[in-house]
Amino acid sequence: MKQSRRPVKKNHYNVGAPLAPWREALNVIIFGAETRAAKIFDVVLSIMIICSVLAVMLGSVNSLQERYTQWFFYSEWFFTLLFSVEYVLRLLSVRKPWLYCRSFFGIVDFLSIIPTYLSFLMPDIKYMLIARVLRLLRVFRILKLAEYMGEAQVLMYALSRSRQKILVFLYTVCTLVIVFGSLMYVVEGSESGFTSIPKSVYWAIVTLTTVGYGDIAPQTPLGQMIASSIMIMGYGIIAVPTGIYSAELMKVDKAADINNEACPDCGETGHDYDASYCKYCGHSLDA
Amino acid sequence: MKQSRRPVKKNHYNVGAPLAPWREALNVIIFGAETRAAKIFDVVLSIMIICSVLAVMLGSVNSLQERYTQWFFYSEWFFTLLFSVEYVLRLLSVRKPWLYCRSFFGIVDFLSIIPTYLSFLMPDIKYMLIARVLRLLRVFRILKLAEYMGEAQVLMYALSRSRQKILVFLYTVCTLVIVFGSLMYVVEGSESGFTSIPKSVYWAIVTLTTVGYGDIAPQTPLGQMIASSIMIMGYGIIAVPTGIYSAELMKVDKAADINNEACPDCGETGHDYDASYCKYCGHSLDA
Amino acid sequence: MKQSRRPVKKNHYNVGAPLAPWREALNVIIFGAETRAAKIFDVVLSIMIICSVLAVMLGSVNSLQERYTQWFFYSEWFFTLLFSVEYVLRLLSVRKPWLYCRSFFGIVDFLSIIPTYLSFLMPDIKYMLIARVLRLLRVFRILKLAEYMGEAQVLMYALSRSRQKILVFLYTVCTLVIVFGSLMYVVEGSESGFTSIPKSVYWAIVTLTTVGYGDIAPQTPLGQMIASSIMIMGYGIIAVPTGIYSAELMKVDKAADINNEACPDCGETGHDYDASYCKYCGHSLDA
Amino acid sequence: MKQSRRPVKKNHYNVGAPLAPWREALNVIIFGAETRAAKIFDVVLSIMIICSVLAVMLGSVNSLQERYTQWFFYSEWFFTLLFSVEYVLRLLSVRKPWLYCRSFFGIVDFLSIIPTYLSFLMPDIKYMLIARVLRLLRVFRILKLAEYMGEAQVLMYALSRSRQKILVFLYTVCTLVIVFGSLMYVVEGSESGFTSIPKSVYWAIVTLTTVGYGDIAPQTPLGQMIASSIMIMGYGIIAVPTGIYSAELMKVDKAADINNEACPDCGETGHDYDASYCKYCGHSLDA
């Protein structure tokens, strides 16, 4: 509700002098989200993206690939040509094509078609088609755009505000895993799988993050004692990012919730958004 | 305390014109929770449900099944017939039987008896009897109903208010596991168990959520580096839903703390505790 | 600081008519924590408890047991006799011996000596001696008692206030693991290790809590899809107890931090504990 | 922003009478961070530290060690001699060399060079060179020093304020794993890998912290039931440190939000933003 009041910001590459009428019309369909045609375009595009991602994923399963080789080959080219046409139309209808190409979604759109063309040279590269899944981010707008984007912005804003704290935390975690990894390399030796310091550091990350594959596990009593202390440390350390993020999110939430307009009579602020009268002096807030 | 003041809301299927006296009496026993008979009914029903769930669970253990085949067969039919009678009585005593059938508990009750009848056709379906455990949700009322239901409502309310944030979060997690899963498929190849993209995505979920079975684990140095970054990411990402939910729960809690005294002039409630004037009509709250 | 003002509550079994002088003196040493003798007693007892726990733990290691059989046998009897004497002295010096026997620490003390005597009948029972570690709880007082106990009380108070919410949460978790465990039993079958519903429920708990041993892991694509959804669910569900506890702890903390005494002039409350003057009207708060 | 106002505190070993001019100049370059020369020194030193840590890590990989033995040998001595020269220069330019030697960074610097010299006596000790990674902590200042250090101080301050609560929590965790570990030793026995109480305690830590390697896993139904309860406990217990830390961080954050304007009469700061009168002396804050 609160977010929907906020007007949807136009992308920088879509600001500028108007284009020829047919390109304007295309622009409204492809980049817009309000008209009926634009909504249908978004829904069809979403389905196409999901289908193409599923085709790439299933195409990597050997048993399916062997049985439906032809089918996967055709679907790959079908989606690639379809998205190529869409990419060209986007370039034609956007106001500043070059800015669009360099934008996040421009790059994602490009990565969604180019691997197929390059797969003649390098067959493995075609799995980069999975980048198509990122295109779905754009189609968030077919859901209630403003609200979801608003929520995502709150989450990102809280994240960016706690950036420094999180970097300090990540540096501490990195130092811990390097120091403890090396220690375990010396203590355990290669018999238990700690064959080198990089591998031991990998093990320390697996342990500290409480993932615990178990492909490498300490065997000696001393190694198990050190491992235990890493685990309990990791168990406690998880409190740090959670605490940082909770605290930040609560501040952001609170700031978004309180009306900062002052009462015209007593000058007090901090009124709720639904308040019509000052809660301190009773003066009308609307005048 | 606060919750117990709130009157227990009647279910929509139990509102309407009174029934014949014996059906009214049955209604009070089966759907009510205040009278002595209703309480005994609830306690006996709870015990029956727990026993029937235990019977289904133990009946799936081979060694027990072989020794007590007869016993499990009879118990299954005993509980099924018992719950069938109960289901019929519920239909007879409820005011709007058809609405009841389509309600959550109506469906659960139906699923608690039908698999046994269908098990002549499909033997495996009888394990759906485990749905009986959901019936216990109804019997929460034999504990201090209002309080527990009140707490559950607070938890659900906070969950539903953070719905949008959680959907944004889930979408991000899905995108991450698809992108990283595909990357690992290309990097690791089938020797380490990454035989297809869907399987690699499964591995990425196992890793990001810090479950870490270890049935599939990266073997190459590059794969282990990518895996390490997924783990640290997953370790940090867990802060997001926790932060969202903590912040929301705190707001809901605070809202419950708000002054429920109505304005003497306009009758509106929901004023802060430090408010001297009604924020809706400006009338003094103190008088 | 705040906690230390609070007088240390006397245990209910130590209230009553005074005893004979020598038993009073013993009481001060054994149950007290202020005198020099009481402090020495506590330190010596702590060391004895730690040594006895270590002896039981190391005595279970086969290689050590074989080499030092005699040593472990003597140490076990040494500590048992020592703690028996202490137990008798406690009974003699306490004001209400029977109440003490039934108190938490009375039972722990009893469990710390009885297994050795019973080990002639059942050899395995001697490992119950590990209950001695609980005795250390009492010796918290040799550290700055009041402060630590105060903190522990805050933690316990927040826990007991969120009891209902946590029970609702636990019931939800139990229902989820039973339903999903049964589903996996039907989907996966015994080849992947899901040999019975109880075992599948065990697997569901291992997965939902993100422990993930990997001794049982789904092999079929459908099973892995269900497992993925359980993991993501578990990853999100962990937010619930954390949110509940954080919110409760913050409320308890806040309540402990704010002075509820009203200003004698304007009647406003909510002053900090270090405030000497009302922050709203400037009147002295001390008068 | 808020943090950057705070002047960078001089280290205690760098306070005192001025030294000879060339040593003063050296001091500014080595211990300072404002001049151009000092910044270049910090950047070069950071790169050297990262390279030396990478060299030690890669030198532990067998395949690389075999191929580039010479290269690793020379790089080890190159970095050691380089850091030795730096260490001597630090001693020469610091005001109180002995205090510096005993400071945290003095010890880290010493540990960064001594293992190479000792490796003639004990070859394994050279992996202690990994301690060099801790030197990077000092070079935080080449990033925006004050801000990051400020954030780190907030995190540490919140940690130190919740110290007592965390110790109580750790003691509870230790008690739980010892009691449950011993229980599992008795229940499971050596066939499932629970060969001794210390090993069972190790398993309990692996399980409670949700790491779950799977190298030891319960096999008996009773053991799996106990393990399930430990897991659910561990899943809930993780809420405790997170709650503690979140609550503390929020209080510290709020304290940082407090009005730093001093009272015009008594000069005290730390008033709430809504305070109109000094809470210490009662003087008006607005005038």
DSSP letter string, D100-132: HHHSHHHHHHHHTTHHHHHTTT-GGGGGGGGGG
Averaged pLDDT for residues D134-143:
64
Contact A231 D241 (CB under 8 A): no
pLDDT of residue C111: 85
Specify the higher pLDDT residue, B78 or D32: B78
- By residue count, chain C amounts to 287
| Interface with chain C: mutation pick from D178, D200, D206, D219, highest number of C CBs within 10 Å | D178
**Range from C164-173, D44-53, D146-155 carrying the lowest mean pLDDT:** D146-155
Query: Rounded to the nearest 10 degrees, what angle do helices C163-188 and D221-237 cross at?
Result: 130
Q: Which residue of D has its CA nearest to C237?
A: D235
B210: distance to nearest CA of chain D, Å? 8
Give the mean pLDDT of chain C.
79
Q: Which residue of C has its CA nearest to B169?
A: C236
Q: Choose the closest CB to B173 out of C185, C196, C232.
A: C232
Averaged pLDDT for residues C260-269:
62
Tell me, yes or no, whether A101 lies in a domain.
Answer: yes
Q: Which residue of D has its CA nearest to B250?
A: D247
- Provide, as residue numbers in chain C, all residues whose Cβ is less than 8 Å from the Cβ of A210: 210
**Domain span at C166:** 161-251
Domain count of the fold of chain C: 2
Contact A236 D166 (CB under 8 A): yes
- Provide, as residue numbers in chain C, all residues whose Cβ is less than 8 Å from the Cβ of A246: 246
For residues D274 and C115, give the distance between their C-alpha atoms in angstroms, rounded to a whole number: 63
Tell me, yes or no, whether D272 lies in a domain.
Answer: no
B132: distance to nearest CA of chain C, Å? 9
Q: Which residue of A has its CA nearest to C250?
A: A247
Contact A133 B178 (CB under 8 A): yes
Residues B219 and B124 in one domain: no
B196: distance to nearest CA of chain D, Å? 25
pLDDT of residue D274: 55
For residues B79 and D105, give the distance between their C-alpha atoms in angstroms, rounded to a whole number: 72
Tell me, yes or no, whether D281 lies in a domain.
Answer: no
D240: distance to nearest CA of chain B, Å? 13
Residue type, B11: N
Tell me, yes or no, whether B273 lies in a domain.
Answer: no
Residues A27 and A136 in one domain: yes
User: Comparing C-alpha atoms, which of C149, C137, C153 is closest to residue C249?
Assistant: C153
- Provide, as residue numbers in chain D, all residues whose Cβ is less than 8 Å from the Cβ of C155: 165, 168-169, 240, 244
The CATH number given to whatever domain includes residue B112 is 1.20.120.350
Residues A213 and A241 in one domain: yes
For chain A, list the contacting chains (3+ Cβ pairs, <8 Å): B, C, D
Question: In the predicted model, is pLDDT for residue D286 greater than 90?
Answer: no
Q: Which residue of D has its CA nearest to B238?
A: D242
Residues B111 and B169 in one domain: no
How many beta-carbon pairs under 8 angstroms link A with B?
Answer: 168
Q: Which residue of D has its CA nearest to C286?
A: D280
Residues C101 and C26 in one domain: yes
Specify the higher pLDDT residue, D272 or D160: D160
pLDDT of residue A6: 39
Contact C246 D242 (CB under 8 A): yes
Pairing of strands A271-272, A258-259: antiparallel
Other beta carbons less than 10 A from residue D18's beta carbon? 9
Residues D139 and D25 in one domain: yes
C215: distance to nearest CA of chain A, Å? 10
Most trustworthy range by pLDDT among A200-204, B40-44, C167-171, D263-267: A200-204
Q: Choose the closest CB to C210 out of A210, A214, A246.
A: A210
Residues A210 and A115 in one domain: no
pLDDT of residue A228: 93
Q: Which residue of B has its CA nearest to D61?
A: B221
- Provide, as residue numbers in chain D, all residues whose Cβ is less than 8 Å from the Cβ of C203: none
Question: In the predicted model, is pLDDT for residue C204 greater than 90?
Answer: yes
Tell me, yes or no, whether D15 lies in a domain.
Answer: no
Contact B284 A284 (CB under 8 A): no
- Provide, as residue numbers in chain B, all residues whose Cβ is less than 8 Å from the Cβ of A211: 207, 210-212, 231, 234
Q: Which residue of B has its CA nearest to D210?
A: B211
Residues C184 and C232 in one domain: yes
Q: Which residue of D has its CA nearest to A169?
A: D152
Contact C110, C83 (CB under 8 A): no
Phi and psi torsions of C272, nearest 5°: -65, 160
Tell me, yes or no, whether A278 lies in a domain.
Answer: no
Over pLDDT 70: what percentage of chain C? 78
For residues D200 and C127, give the distance between their C-alpha atoms in angstroms, rounded to a whole number: 12
Q: Which residue of A has its CA nearest to C61?
A: A221
**Range from B203-212, C196-205, D16-25 carrying the lowest mean pLDDT:** D16-25
C247: distance to nearest CA of chain A, Å? 11
pLDDT of residue B168: 79
Averaged pLDDT for residues C230-236:
86
- Provide, as residue numbers in chain A, all residues whose Cβ is less than 8 Å from the Cβ of D209: 210, 231-232, 234-235
Contact B211 C213 (CB under 8 A): no
Using 50 as the pLDDT threshold, list the residues of chain B that sit under it.
1-9, 287
- Provide, as residue numbers in chain C, all residues whose Cβ is less than 8 Å from the Cβ of B56: 182, 197
Q: Choose the closest CB to C249 out of D175, D182, D244.
A: D244
Evaluated on CA atoms C99, C104, C106, C107, the torsion sign reads positive
Final residue of a domain: which of A85, A110, A144? Answer: A144
- DSSP for A130-156 reads GGGGGGGGGGGGGTTHHHHHHHHHHHH
Averaged pLDDT for residues C97-119:
85
Residues D101 and D195 in one domain: no
Specify the higher pLDDT residue, D108 or B145: D108
The CATH number given to whatever domain includes residue A229 is 1.10.287.70
Q: What is the pLDDT along chain A (287 residues), one digit of tens a residue?
A: 333 333 444 566 777 777 788 888 888 888 877 788 888 888 888 888 889 888 888 888 888 888 998 998 899 899 999 999 999 998 888 888 888 888 888 888 888 888 888 887 777 777 777 777 777 766 655 555 555 666 777 777 877 877 777 877 888 888 889 889 988 988 887 788 898 889 999 999 999 998 888 888 898 889 999 999 999 888 878 888 888 888 888 777 666 555 555 666 766 655 655 566 666 666 676 64
For residues D92 and D80, give the distance between their C-alpha atoms in angstroms, rounded to a whole number: 18
Rg (CA), chain A: 27
- DSSP symbol at B279: T
Averaged pLDDT for residues D6-24:
69
Tokens of D225: 């039931």
| Interface with chain C: mutation pick from A64, A216, A231, A246, highest number of C CBs within 10 Å | A246
Residues C40 and C128 in one domain: yes
**Range from B24-28, B167-171, D90-94, D275-279 carrying the lowest mean pLDDT:** D275-279
Confidence band of C8 (pLDDT split at 50, 70, 90): very low
Q: Which residue of B has its CA nearest to C209?
A: B211
Evaluated on CA atoms A178, A180, A186, A190, the torsion sign reads negative
Q: Choose the closest CB to C211 out of D179, D207, D283.
A: D207
Q: Choose the closest CB to B130 out of C178, C232, C235.
A: C178
Tell me, yes or no, whether B81 lies in a domain.
Answer: yes
**Phi/psi-derived region of residue A122, left when phi > 0, alpha when psi is between -120 and 50, beta in every other case:** beta
pLDDT of residue D7: 41
Question: In the predicted model, is pLDDT for residue C255 greater than 80?
Answer: no
| Interface with chain A: mutation pick from B180, B211, B231, highest number of A CBs within 10 Å | B231
Averaged pLDDT for residues C136-161:
66
Final residue of a domain: which of D144, D170, D197? Answer: D144
| Interface with chain C: mutation pick from D183, D201, D220, D244, highest number of C CBs within 10 Å | D244
Taking CA atoms, A181 is separated from A203, B208, D107, D128, D257, in Å, by: 7, 21, 21, 11, 40
Rg (CA), chain D: 27
Phi and psi torsions of A277, nearest 5°: -130, 150
Q: Give this complex's ipTM.
A: 0.78
Final residue of a domain: which of A114, A144, A174? Answer: A144
pLDDT of residue C140: 58
Confidence band of C17 (pLDDT split at 50, 70, 90): confident
Averaged pLDDT for residues D232-249:
83
Tokens of C131: 């209950």
- Provide, as residue numbers in chain B, all residues whose Cβ is less than 8 Å from the Cβ of D246: 246
How many beta-carbon pairs under 8 angstroms link B with C?
Answer: 128
pLDDT of residue B200: 92
Specify the higher pLDDT residue, A214 or C253: A214
Contact C281, D283 (CB under 8 A): no
Tell me, yes or no, whether D282 lies in a domain.
Answer: no
Other beta carbons less than 10 A from residue A104's beta carbon? 11
For chain D, list the contacting chains (3+ Cβ pairs, <8 Å): A, B, C
Residues D112 and D30 in one domain: yes
D95: distance to nearest CA of chain B, Å? 42
- Provide, as residue numbers in chain B, all residues whose Cβ is less than 8 Å from the Cβ of C213: 213
Give Cα B192 to chain centroid, integer Å: 38
- Provide, as residue numbers in chain D, all residues whose Cβ is less than 8 Å from the Cβ of A224: 198-199, 202
Residues D208 and D124 in one domain: no
Angle subtended at Cα A119 by Cα A118 and Cα A120, rounded to the nearest 5 degrees: 90
Contact D58, A198 (CB under 8 A): yes
